[in-house]
């Protein structure tokens, strides 16, 4: 795929972040999400790809835009597209840290078409690649990651979604002596942060959304990190969807290569609210905003952090960039 695509994807996530950020802390997660969806969808119209959404806002009858199976782009390279215009809608609505706008792109057929269900995940950075086993005890994984990073377990920071289903996981990490950062929503950014030393995050563990798992895997593929996952279907319908994907054992271990089959993958995320990985949108004047983004390219391993200043037109309600 063309190297220019990396910057084009950044423009798309910037647009979504700018559209959503105006509604930070205003309690309306649906509107914050819809504005981001509108902006992201419009952004794809200017990108030279023949894209099919494989991770999106839901099925065709659930989402009017960026639905699974929708074709996006202005024509060009055939690709799979994974999107989450606002990863952490509750975070935006409540003005909490960690919300991002995110896009991943890979050649057609190379992203797992993950159904909207739970997925168990463990994600680490390059220094701990090959040192995780989702079927092994939690303490063993912590020990292996600590050894790989030249740390004691007590030096590790583990990010876990603060959910009742994670009570035993949290207790095991505490008993092992690891430090824990509990998050209320949004596990894509922490998974990516685990692959960047400066964030202070060492490992992501727990059960979250399967679509978010594929987005995180795309970033980890670019960064040289590692991830293992298992789908966690909750009913017969979800089991049937897994089997329709070709998974004879719906809870089989999925490696990073199962989730993202190509090195030729692109990932872009822009902060909406502040987090370990990215700063949120900042306003320095009535019509001026600053965004902070990360752009990743798998074939070269290039990591770009991009800070951009945007001149905004506040009519209509969402953003318009002045080129």
Binding-site positions for Mn(2+) read 33, 57, 84, 87, 212
Instruction: Write out the binding residues for substrate.
Output: 87-89, 118, 163-165, 185-187, 209
73 by DSSP, 3-state: which? coil
Instruction: Go through the chain and tell me how many residues it has.
Output: 323
Give which of 218, 87, 85 is closest to 161, Cα–Cα. Answer: 87
Element (H, E) at 259: helix 256-259
Alpha carbons 127 and 225: distance in angstroms, whole number: 8
- Beta bridge partners, 183, equal 161
Q: What residues contact 208, with CB distance under 8 A and at least 6 apart? A: 118, 119, 121, 161, 187
Per DSSP (E only), the strands in the chain are 49-55, 71-72, 77-87, 100-107, 118-124, 157-161, 179-183, 203-209, 226-232, 254-255, 266-271, 282-285, 288-297, 302-311
Binding site: which residues? 33, 57, 84, 87-89, 118, 163-165, 185-187, 209, 212
Q: Which residue has the tokens 């609505």?
A: 93
Which is nearest to 211 in space by CA: 1, 68, 61?
68
Residue 266 DSSP symbol: E
Angstrom distances, CA of residue 292 to CA of 99, 203, 224, 274, 322: 12, 23, 22, 10, 18
Beta-sheet strand order (sheet of 157-161): 179-183, 157-161, 203-209, 118-124, 226-232, 254-255
């Amino acid at each position: 795929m063309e190297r220019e695509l990396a910057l084009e994807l950044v423009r798309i996530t910037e647009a979504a972040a700018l559209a959503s950020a105006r509604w930070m802390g205003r309690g309306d997660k649906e509107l914050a999400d819809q504005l981001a969806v509108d902006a992201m969808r419009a952004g794809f119209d200017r990108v030279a790809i023949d894209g099919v959404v494989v991770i999106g806002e839901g099925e065709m009858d659930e989402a009017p835009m960026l639905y699974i199976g929708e074709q996006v782009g202005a024509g060009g390279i055939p690709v799979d597209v994974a999107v989450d215009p606002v990863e952490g809608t509750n975070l935006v609505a409540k003005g909490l840290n960690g919300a991002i706008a995110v896009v991943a792109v890979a050649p057609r057929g190379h992203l797992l078409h993950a159904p909207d269900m739970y997925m168990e995940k463990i994600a680490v950075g390059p220094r701990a690649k090959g040192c995780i086993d989702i079927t092994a005890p939690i303490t063993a994984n912590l020990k292996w990651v600590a050894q790989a990073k030249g740390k004691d377990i007590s030096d590790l920071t583990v990010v876990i979604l603060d959910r009742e289903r994670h009570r035993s996981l949290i207790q095991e990490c505490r008993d092992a002596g690891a430090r824990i950062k509990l998050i209320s929503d949004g596990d894509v950014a922490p998974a990516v942060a685990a692959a960047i030393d400066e964030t202070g995050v060492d490992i992501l563990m727990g059960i979250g959304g399967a679509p978010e798992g594929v987005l995180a895997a795309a970033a980890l593929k670019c960064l040289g990190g590692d991830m293992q996952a298992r789908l966690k279907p909750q009913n017969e319908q979800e089991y049937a969807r897994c089997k329709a994907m070709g998974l004879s054992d719906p809870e089989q271990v999925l490696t990073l290569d199962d989730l993202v089959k190509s090195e030729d993958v692109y990932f872009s995320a822009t902060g909406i609210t502040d987090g370990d990985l990215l700063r949120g949108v900042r306003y320095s004047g009535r019509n001026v905003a600053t965004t902070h983004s990360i752009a990743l390219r798998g074939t070269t391993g290039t990591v770009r952090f991009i800070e951009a200043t945007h001149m905004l037109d506040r009519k209509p309600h969402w953003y318009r960039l002045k080129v």
